[in-house]
Structure 1
Amino acid sequence: MTAAEMLARNFATLPDLLRAHAAEQPDKVALAEAGGELDYASLDALVDRIADALQRDGVQQGDAVAIVAAASIDYVAIFLGALRAGCLATPLAPSGTPDSIVAMIADCAAPITFVDTDAANALSGHHIPGKLVHLKSLGSWLAPVGAQPTPVTIAPEDGFNIIYSSGTTGVPKGIVQSHAMRWAHISRNEAAGFASAVTMIATPLYSNTTLVSVLPTLGWGGTVVLMKKFDARGYLTLAERHRATHTMLVPVQYQRIMALPDFDRFDLSSFRFKTCTSAPFPAALKADVVARWPGLLVEYYGMTEGGGTCLLIANAFPDKLHTVGRPVEGHDVRLIDDDGREVPQGERGEVVGRSPAMMTAYHGRKDATAAAEWFDADGNRFIRHGDIGRFDAEGFLTLLDRKKDLIISGGFNIYPADLEAVLARHPAVADCSVIGVPNETWGESPVGFYVPHSGIDASIAEILEWTNAHLGKTQRLTALHAIAELPRSAIGKVLKRALRDRLAEHAL
């Protein structure tokens, strides 16, 4: 069966699509990195050797295969090899503490874990459950050239991967995503032109943000260009060299790229499709990208867990850049109050969503799975997004805050995003965040952090006074702290937990 025939069906698997592309376009580059590239025929053969070696080592269909490493061609091949063996690819963040990485390996019960040199050094002295394979010795571990794994039958409901949540608000949870969910990500992207894509990847491969670009590109037979470590000028140089057409970046990356004084000297005319997700994307930054960077800019709002997805084509709706767009076709996004009742249009509420792309469950966490679900009057299952939002009269969704970040002070609901929007307007503030801290009198109080803007002098007291003068009485910050850089995850989310830890350490 051809790749085109598979893509026209109701369901196909990525390993089968890879096999078809290898037969139909064997010499086309599938993966590229600074050290070289791999065509589809070579990638398919490498994936076979990995899958066969996994089966040789006793790894069973349905087992997790953990990967702790920076982005590379070998990393992607191992991910695909796990899928071909019927396993759940389980990419883990190497930026985590050794204890958290070990805990995630134990949680998913991976019988084998692949590590690069940095991860191996970080985990040295820690007991790793199961077998450890170092990427530098991958060649000696692989099955022989020409090896073929025992074929496995994959059903739509079978596990594709386990993605661990970033842990920005607590302990990471393993999010089990099915082949059906990933098929939805691939099949719905025909109009995006991934078949002829050269997709720049500058976010880590353990992030769902990255996979929603990598998987459709490989599924449709395009080329993925991997960047091991992001830097703005290096990204533009690589994109220009490869004549990149597609990319997924997070807001902080767009901000750093657009801030380069010589941005306009780079030839980016090959770009057709740029996307963004994972963190708040300021309207002014969207407008700048639209004005100066060729191609469409599309913002996606959704969750690793699935639920509903909203989409904003920034070029087409310049007056809606403060929103995250409207629900995509086939996705049902609603707003509910604290009692689980839907709110009228125009009122704020918690975002819940339903679509063909929804997680199966949190791995081994029945209570957490149940807490993430909401059911409508007809019994339809929705996923709670954890965000507070409001739909306008035209159906565009504006995000107001994270539900978990909600500060309740003296019985009043305070939304940190409202406070951050005001604080960010001060000319001496380059970046900022607001968290809630315990207060014996009021329950919680808002505390701000800001990164000073270079070249503009203003004291903390002056900025605090100015900000509070522009806030309501119940919203006012009780304290403000200057910080060199806000702690962020690899995909740009502010780690508010780290800010709370910082306060606690200074209070000791």
Structure 2
Amino acid sequence: MSEQDPTPKGLHRLLDDAAARHPHRTAVIEGARAVDYARLSRRVDQLARRLAAIGVQRGDRVVLLMANSLAFVESLYAVLRAGATAVPVSPDAKPFQLRKITANAQPILLLADRADRDLPLLNGLPTHTPDDLPAALPPTAVPPPPDEPPAFLLYTSGSTSDPKGVICPPGAVLFAVHAIAQRLGYTEADTVYCRPPFSFDYGLYQILLCALAGATLVVSGDQPEVATLRIARDSGATVMPLVPTLATSLLTLARRDPRPTRLRLFTNTGEHLPSTRADALRAAFPGAEVVPMYGMTECKRITIADPVTDPEPGADPALRACVGRALPGTTLRILNEDGEPVPPGTVGEIVVSGPHLMAGYWRDPEETALRYGHDCTGRRVLRTGDYGSLDAEGRLRLEGRRDDLIKRRGMRTSTTEIEAAACDVPGVAEACLTGAKDGTLTLWYAGPADPAVVTAGLRDRLEGPKLPDGVASVADLPRTVNGKIDRRRLTDTIPQTAPAGGQS
């Protein structure tokens, strides 16, 4: 697909095409259950007609409140085939969050994977499981209108504000799927074990990428994270998308059970994966590549790094920390505060343009205008709010969001740099830096290391002005429903800290 030809056909056609090309290839595995592409397509067709029987029409919003499961995959494709808009929501979402999302999306229906889910009162919103919908209508051929409704409304985590629904048109989604596939190279021989939730675009797009390649998707349902390695090994998984917290758990499991797997590729996005963690994955899973990526829901994916199986010792740390080059058809620029491009190696705001830019925020034109705009040529752009730099080869190095950039005693640093230094200290599994209103910084970490050891390790790795004011040990860092570290919950907690010497 080219930038001039995004071909906005229905996304459910990805499944139809896969069923035509690979009818007997396994499409989805959940536990002992496996469904091939032909059967999955038939089940989706039945479910789409059952949705029509209860009045779901083109453009209606349907909430999918489900774990990563075969039921979710079938429901997603059925909603798309019905011409409606899917609104994936984590089954771990709090009632407060669910009420906010449904008030904004105004869905016609909520589909849950279990009838026994304890759901809050949602203003009379009809709720069903896929199995308790009424009988299907007979098939009918209805010509689609010229303008397709959004494929998805994907709600941001709301970690810093109310959740916002990103409007994802089919053409933008399909362009992103093809561009990502071109770079990652999933094949029909791959088995992709997706642990990140389908309510998170990182997880959701694995469904579409697998269909495009004819690959097998492995889902874990309600299986706990401790089962991750067992499921990956039993299913013969070759690809695993990761966030840093999942990488930490996987490494712990691999130390307990070092038997070989078929894993050949780990991808990472959502949060920076420290190079020490990437190196540990390569050591624990010999021959596996670790591919950092960068993106955001507002345009899906922006950059993907070249696969690296064994970085040379002493390689340039900036190169090891990069998140790759822009996707095909994507224009990536680094701009200063005046909106002017900056030279290679200079930090500025990351601004993106291309066919994968989503349509904005649902029922929020003001927020849309703040984030999306046009450059001097009239081209539509996305102001990411993230900061980074491009090297002479066009590789992106992330510095973090505006709030993540810190200048202390005349020296610039970022939360990412300090957290990476902490993760390099033996005995630190995860780390997160938070700031208080008085300007003090606290480094939180999980792992067996003593706070005094962590403090000394930071002093060995960082200049004095970059040192946090305190170090706090916790059993586990809190997470959002998408598996990211929940900085807000840490910020609201009063730590018992060991001084790290950040301020005199």
With structure 1 as the length reference, what TM-score do the two structures score? 0.85
Corresponding residue number in structure 1 for 2:132:
140
Pick aligned residue for 2:44 from 42, 47, 64: 47
Pick aligned residue for 1:445 from 440, 445, 459: 440
CA distance in 2, matches of 1:68, 1:46: 19
Between stretches 93-102 and 154-163, larger displacement belongs to 154-163
Establish whether residue 285 from structure 1 lines up as the match of residue 287 from structure 2.
Answer: no
Deviations 1:259-303 (A, max 9, x none): 3225531332xx444322111111122233345343443222111
Displacement of 1:207 in angstroms is 1.1
Q: Cα 1:427–1:341, aligned 2, differ >3 Å: closer, same or farther?
A: same
Establish whether residue 165 from structure 1 lines up as the match of residue 159 from structure 2.
Answer: no
CA distance in 1, matches of 2:280, 2:424: 18
Q: Which consecutive unaligned segments of at least 5 residues does structure 1 have? A: 1-7
Q: Does the Cα contact within 8 Å between 1:157 and 1:180 map onto a contact in 2?
A: no
Corresponding residue number in structure 2 for 1:500:
491
Match of 2:117, SS? helix
Residue identity matched to 1:286: A
Corresponding residue number in structure 2 for 1:351:
350
Displacement of 1:488 in angstroms is 1.8
Displacement of 1:215 in angstroms is 0.6
The RMSD of aligned alpha carbons is: 3.1
Q: Cα 1:446–1:468, aligned 2, differ >3 Å: closer, same or farther?
A: farther
Q: Cα 1:308–1:190, aligned 2, differ >3 Å: closer, same or farther?
A: closer
CA distance in 2, matches of 1:267, 1:407: 41
Matches within 5 A, 1:98-117: 98-117=95-114
Residue identity matched to 1:22: A
Between stretches 221-230 and 471-480, larger displacement belongs to 471-480
Pick aligned residue for 1:264 from 255, 258, 280: 258
CA distance in 2, matches of 1:57, 1:235: 38
CA distance in 1, matches of 2:161, 2:86: 23
CA distance in 2, matches of 1:325, 1:340: 23
Matches within 5 A, 1:102-251: 102-117=99-114, 120-121=117-118, 123-124=119-120, 126-133=121-128, 135=129, 138-144=130-136, 147-148=138-139, 151=142, 153=144, 158-188=149-179, 189=181, 192-229=185-222, 234-251=227-244
CA distance in 2, matches of 1:231, 1:414: 37
CA distance in 2, matches of 1:478, 1:232: 33
Between stretches 112-121 and 149-158, larger displacement belongs to 149-158
CA distance in 1, matches of 2:90, 2:169: 20
Q: Give % identity.
A: 26
Displacement of 1:401 in angstroms is 2.0
Q: Does the Cα contact within 8 Å between 1:65 and 1:82 map onto a contact in 2?
A: yes
Corresponding residue number in structure 1 for 2:336:
337
Displacement of 1:465 in angstroms is 7.2
Displacement of 1:308 in angstroms is 5.9
Deviations 1:461-487 (A, max 9, x none): x75577468655654433333322111
Q: Does the Cα contact within 8 Å between 1:176 and 1:363 map onto a contact in 2?
A: yes
Establish whether residue 91 from structure 1 lines up as the match of residue 88 from structure 2.
Answer: yes
Matches within 5 A, 1:301-316: 301-306=294-299, 309-315=302-308
Corresponding residue number in structure 2 for 1:477:
468
Match of 1:38, SS? strand
Q: Does the Cα contact within 8 Å between 1:297 and 1:313 map onto a contact in 2?
A: no
CA distance in 2, matches of 1:374, 1:503: 40
Displacement of 1:127 in angstroms is 3.0
Matched positions, count: 483
Q: Cα 1:75–1:422, aligned 2, differ >3 Å: closer, same or farther?
A: closer
CA distance in 2, matches of 1:9, 1:103: 33
Q: Which consecutive unaligned segments of at least 5 residues does structure 2 have? A: 498-504
Q: Cα 1:317–1:129, aligned 2, differ >3 Å: closer, same or farther?
A: farther
Match of 2:255, SS? coil
Q: Cα 1:447–1:72, aligned 2, differ >3 Å: closer, same or farther?
A: same
Q: Does the Cα contact within 8 Å between 2:300 and 2:356 map onto a contact in 1?
A: yes
CA distance in 1, matches of 2:141, 2:221: 33
Corresponding residue number in structure 2 for 1:4:
none
Residue identity matched to 1:39: D
Q: Does the Cα contact within 8 Å between 1:405 and 1:435 map onto a contact in 2?
A: no
CA distance in 1, matches of 2:115, 2:96: 15
Between stretches 209-218 and 311-320, larger displacement belongs to 311-320
Corresponding residue number in structure 1 for 2:500:
none
Pick aligned residue for 1:32 from 29, 32, 35: 29
Displacement of 1:428 in angstroms is 5.3
Q: Cα 1:340–1:190, aligned 2, differ >3 Å: closer, same or farther?
A: closer
Displacement of 1:161 in angstroms is 0.5
Between stretches 271-280 and 297-306, larger displacement belongs to 271-280
Residue identity matched to 1:315: V
Residue identity matched to 1:363: W
Deviations 1:322-371 (A, max 9, x none): 11112122211111223332222111111121222111111111111111
Residue identity matched to 1:366: P
Between stretches 212-221 and 58-67, larger displacement belongs to 212-221
Q: Does the Cα contact within 8 Å between 1:274 and 1:295 map onto a contact in 2?
A: yes
Q: Cα 1:254–1:396, aligned 2, differ >3 Å: closer, same or farther?
A: same
Deviations 1:377-418 (A, max 9, x none): 212222122222122233221112222334577898653223
Corresponding residue number in structure 1 for 2:418:
419
Displacement of 1:180 in angstroms is 0.5
Corresponding residue number in structure 2 for 1:255:
248
